[in-house]
Amino acid sequence: MKRSIIAIALAAALLSTSGCIIVNDNSSAPQTKMENPVIENIMARRSVRHYTDQAVPRELLQQIAVCGVNAPNAMNSQDWEVRIIDNPEYFDTVTEVMRKTMPSMVGDDDPKFRNGLRNATAAIAVACPDDEYGMSLINVGLLCENICLSALSLGLGSVIMGGPVLAINSSPEAKPFLDKLNFSEGYKLRIIIGLGYPDEEPAARPRDLGKIKFVD
């Protein structure tokens, strides 16, 4: 399971970074400011872990999910299944399971704490089957990035979560909540993306631009 989450995160990370700059060397000093709405959206995305209690309209959640399934995917297999969750009761009951099985993931000492899904008011759960070459996980990673970027463009925050996935997949107490997602036979819950209206503005974290090299 951990390998699955890492693979998804790596795939999603292929399309994201943290600063709207162009550089000519391995330093992080800005050289030229970009003015491109797509690039600016990519550079502006942050992981949000505190949200207002304002509900996200279902038409926006549907639009975000549609953007997700329009991600590139191997051989156009579309071997994913997407579930939109916006029922507060579902969030509360999953949080209770996490409180018993993964208490470190439940921040009851946080005055802004709402639930174990990083306090989100909505979430999108994504499943896919195992495959020999791991392409399904890469497909899910690309789908996740589309979801996060489209959410930002609509004024929403997002956070990609692995902890709740581990709790739901591994705890017998969580089986009713997994069953409620009603994934097809052979599909496994891989990732959950929390969504909502941000109640914080996280700063960008530094990126090691030295990881980028040309091949001559």
CATH of the domain at 160: 3.40.109.10
- Number of Cβ within a 10 Å radius of residue 52: 14
For residue 164, being part of any structural domain is answered with yes
What per-residue confidence (pLDDT) applies to 20? 33
Handedness of CA 15, 21, 24, 27 (dihedral sign): negative
Tell me if 61 is assigned to some domain: yes
The count of structural domains within the chain is 1
Does any domain span residue 205? no
The confidence score (pLDDT) of residue 209 equals: 96
Q: Is residue 172 part of a domain?
A: yes
209 in any annotated domain: no
Quick one: pLDDT at residue 63? 98
d(CA 83, CA 129): 15
Q: Write out the chain's pLDDT in tens, 216 residues.
A: 545 544 554 454 444 333 333 333 444 434 445 689 999 999 999 999 999 999 999 999 999 999 999 999 999 999 999 999 999 999 998 898 888 887 777 866 778 888 888 899 999 999 999 999 999 999 999 999 999 999 999 999 999 999 899 889 988 988 999 999 999 999 999 999 999 999 999 999 999 999 999 999
